[in-house]
Amino acid sequence: MGDPAAEGGHVDAIRVMVVDDHPIWREGVARDLGERGCDVVATAPDAPAAVRIATAVRPDVVLMDLNLGAVSGVTAIGEITAALPETQVLVLSASGEHADVLEACKAGALGYLVKSAGAEELLDAVERTARGVPVFTPGLAGLVLGEYRRLAEGPAPARDEPAVPALTERETEVLRLVAKGLTARQIASKLVVSHRTVESHVQNTLRKLQLHNRSQLVRYAIEQGLAD
15-147 topology per CATH: Rossmann fold (3.40.50)
Residue 215 Cα distances to 127, 128, 218, angstroms: 14, 12, 5
169-223 CATH choice from 3.40.50.360, 1.10.1520.10, 1.10.287.130, 1.10.10.10: 1.10.10.10
Entry pTM = 0.63
* pLDDT higher than 80, residue 141: no
- Termini Cα distance of the chain: 26
* pLDDT higher than 50, residue 163: no
pLDDT digits (tens, 9 = 90+) for 107-117: 889 889 988 88
Domain with CATH 3.40.50.2300 in the chain: 15-147
pLDDT digits (tens, 9 = 90+) for 193-211: 888 888 888 888 887 777 7
Radius of gyration of the chain (CA): 18
Residue 158 Cα distances to 154, 155, 162, 195, 227, angstroms: 12, 9, 9, 39, 27
For residue 2, the one-letter residue type is G
